[in-house]
A and B are shown apart, each in its own frame.
Chain A
């Protein structure tokens, strides 16, 4: 039987590759952060935020009208998340890992030929980001860090819903976001 590769699987596969690469390729925060402080986990979330910003930038070539405008607004919000995560890592005594160049990120992205491709890719990335923040909620040791993860996670839930609407789907298809694991 010949396996049929759907666009969603192909684009989602691109996101999986990107996430794996973010987790394994970017260095953990250096400096004096203590093991178990949460700095390493925040570093992983930061690496993914940077990759997502690069994905929004790359998607701008195929997005139009409302989708292009909103993707730019979302990218600005993601940049604010990066600043907040960097600050939190420094507060823990660590040094945030440097990001990669846009070209390095883009080499790992799937080919985005149409607006629909970009929106599927962004939806998958937003869902993975949200899942990362929800997992961090259970693992981060300090209330202040969990509050940061919850606040950014709520933003990611909003962004995920917006990308779904732009792709023509319902904003809220599930009562428990990322619940079906």
Chain B
């Protein structure tokens, strides 16, 4: 199954099943707000990998793989957001730390690991909080992918593979 068809099956199917029901998640945020926050994070990640690839601050094969997967997440989230009546947030300004992180591969790996950890944490919260049961599993599926990205970045940087491990 291609990435695109998997995305359609996961997020399209889930989104079609839930459509425009009441939008409040079980926290204080609406489902639309949760999805917008995730989209903004994904936008930051994609922007960071694009910049790192341009400046050779990441191995090309790894950078392209991670970038393509973040773009798949963006397409899926965008589809889910539309299904709940939301609109994609405007492109975010790159964080100030990005320019210094682009000076070396080691610095970029640390920067990207921080961003991926933020994304993992945000998906963990959103997958539990979102009110539409049909969207929980797809968000959990991306959450696990972001956790795998952390491992990929640690592998490339020669860091311990398990967070907190030796």
| Chain A residues engaging chain B, CB cutoff 8 angstroms | 69-70, 73-74, 77, 130, 133-135, 137-139, 143, 146-147, 149-151, 153-162, 164-165, 170-172, 174-181
Contact = CB atoms under 8 A, between A and B. Distances in A.
Contacts of A170: 65, 152
Interface in B38-89: 65-66, 68-69, 72-73, 76
Interface size class of B (residues with CB under 8 A): 35 or more
Contact of B162 (A77, A133, A181): A77
Nearest to A158: B147
Contact of A172 (B6, B137, B139, B148): B148
B151 A153 contact: no
SS of B interface (majority): helix
B161 interface: yes
Contact of B3 (A159, A162, A174): A174
A158 B120 CA distance: 10
B161 A162 contact: yes
Nearest to A157: B144
A178 to B, nearest CB: 6
B165 interface: yes
Interface in B1-19: 1, 3, 6-7, 9-10
Given A143-B128, A156-B144, A179-B1, 11 more contacts: A137-B127, A137-B137, A138-B136, A139-B133, A157-B147, A158-B147, A158-B148, A174-B3, A175-B72, A175-B142, A179-B6
Contacts of A162: 151, 161-162
A103 B121 CA distance: 38
B152 A134 contact: no
B10 A179 contact: yes
Contacts of B125: 147, 150
A126 B86 CA distance: 35
B79 to A, nearest CB: 13
B148 A176 contact: no
Contacts of A161: 147-148, 150-152
A170 B1 CA distance: 18
Contact of A179 (B9, B27, B66): B9
A150 B143 CA distance: 8
A161 B144 CA distance: 9
Contacts of B128: 137, 143, 146-147, 149-150
Contact of A176 (B3, B68, B151, B162): B3
Interface string B146-164: 1111111001000001110
A170 B66 CA distance: 11
Contacts of A177: 141-142, 144-145, 148
B149 A171 contact: yes
Contacts of A133: 140
Contacts of A158: 147-148, 150-151, 162-163
A175 B145 contact: yes
B3 A137 contact: no
Best-buried of B66, B72, B139, B162 by chain A (most CB within 10 Å): B162
